[in-house]
Amino acid sequence: MMNVIIVDDEQAGRRTLREFCEAEGDLRVVGEYGDGATALAAIRSEPPQLLFLDIQMDPLNGIELARSLEPSQLPSLVFVTAYDTYAIEAFEVSAVDYLLKPFDQERFRRTLERVRPRHAKSGVDERQALLAGLLAQLERGVRTPGEERPRLLAEGHGIGTTDLKRIEVRGVPIAQALYKFDA
C-alpha cells in the first residue's frame, strides 16, 4: 500500500486525483492540501510514498516544495499542472511522470505503471538524484504571474531572423517541432 498526498491549489484537481487514487487498490490518500506551505509541514510530519504535486501555486510553488524535502523523506513524485510549458522538460529527464490537466483515468493509470516499479526498486538516493535533474529542468520554466513571455501568432513573410529570439510551436522550440514532423 502506498500512502499518497495530493497538493493542488484547485479543489477540482484534488478531487479528480483523490477519486482516481481511490479506484486503485494499492493507493491510500492520507492528505490533500491546497497550498504548498501546509503540504510541506504535513509531508515532513508523515512522509508519503507518492506525492502528486501541482507546479503553479502561491506562495510556495511545487518546485520549491520539492526542493524543500529532506532526502530521507523523498517520495515518488508526479508533477500535475495545467501548463504544458513544463511537460517537455519533465519528460526529457524522465525522472518521474508528469500529468497535464485535464487528464483521464487511463492516463493516470499509465502514470502509476511508471511509479510503481520505481517505488519498489529505487532507494532514496536514486529518487533524490532523479528528482534533482527534473527540478533543475522545471525550474528554468517557472514564472510568476505577470512574467509570462508574450507570444506572437502570425502568418506572413519578411520577418528578419535577427528580430527573433526563439520560435516555438505549441511551446516546443521549432527545431524540435521540425524534427518530430520529419521523423
- pTM confidence score: 0.66
Q: What angle do CA 46, 96, 16 make, to 5 degrees?
A: 65
SS3 52: strand
CA distances from 166 to 84, 162, 163 (A): 17, 10, 9
- Residue 51 grid coordinates: 506525492
H helices of the chain, where? 11-22, 36-45, 62-67, 87-93, 105-121, 124-139, 174-182
Q: Are 63 and 142 in contact (CB under 8 A)?
A: yes
- Calpha distance 17→29 (Å, rounded): 9
C-alpha cell, 84: 504544458
Largest distance between two CA atoms of the chain: 60
What is d(CA 95, CA 81) in angstroms, rounded to the nearest whole number? 16
Over its length of 183 residues, how does the chain's per-residue pLDDT go in tens digits?
999 999 999 999 999 999 999 999 999 999 999 999 999 999 999 999 999 999 888 888 887 888 888 776 678 889 898 877 765 544 443 347 888 889 999 999 999 998 888 777 655 566 566 666 666 666 666 554 554 444 444 444 454 444 445 555 555 555 443 434 333
Record the cell numbers describing residue 77, joined without a space: 513524485
- In this predicted structure, what is the pLDDT of residue 74? 76
